[in-house]
Amino acid sequence: MVSPAQIRAARSLIGIKQSDLARGAGISLATLNNIERGVGDPRASTLEAIERALTGAGIEFSGDPVSESVRLRRLDRPTAYETLFASQRVLELLGRQALTPVTQVLLFARRPREGAQSDEAPRICLLIEGHNRAVLFDQVQFSVANAGRAAEVAAILLWAFSFHREALYYLEQVLDDTTAGDLPEVVGRLRGLAWLPFRHPADFFNVFDDWDGRVKRMAEREGHPMRDLVALFDTPPVNAAWQG
């Protein structure tokens, strides 16, 4: 179980306050303060919540009867191939409760892995940059191959635009399969490419698909997240009439 010293060290590595960790772990500030001071006997569930929040922020804990250590993974590449689980992970990292503040979000498309069928849709990937770490999602099967997959992508874009409107970027090219590359090498390559500001989903989707001819049509389905995404970008501002 995580110790008070490890919690303090983890907060220092990430650069967050007690209040940030308390909020992220879903506990009170007073409870966390007592734990870090070694006061009282915290429940195992409380310590697990703290450890879970810190682990989600890239912290790795290890220890034995003689020593204990805390390490921050500055580069991470979740091996979540299942899109629903990966979507939840992305939303957690982009949300207000995330312990590592987001500075930039890059969207890009890559070609399927070698050996895939030639007609498979390009995979949609994200590089989420924080103040002290980066998380690359390029092993997940995100795509707009069908309405179900497109719903997951649209939901992510809605979430990202809601919280990080001015920090969204995309690449105007389809990359070769990045998953075979070493993580530091791939992230370094992505950082060296030309990032374009994400102003409208059509700009990004037209890099590898047909926004008006196919993707946007999914918005005709009632309740589909793509419908909300289209409305968000295509509805004129309320005060448009006053702008002359």
pTM (predicted TM-score): 0.88
Cβ neighbours of residue 214 under 8 Å, at least 6 residues apart? none
Residue 131 to residue 213: CA distance in whole angstroms: 39
Instruction: Give percent of the chain with pLDDT exceeding 90.
Output: 68
pLDDT(115) > 70? no
pLDDT(215) > 80? yes
**What pLDDT score does 241 carry?**
43
Q: What is the mean pLDDT of residues 155-173?
A: 94
Give the residue extent of every domain in the chain. 4-72, 75-234
Q: What is the mean pLDDT of residues 202-229?
A: 90
Residue 239 to residue 15: CA distance in whole angstroms: 41
The CATH topology of domain 75-234 is: hypothetical protein tt1805 (3.40.1530)
Superfamily of chain region 4-72: lambda repressor-like DNA-binding domains (1.10.260.40)
Residue 84 to residue 74: CA distance in whole angstroms: 24
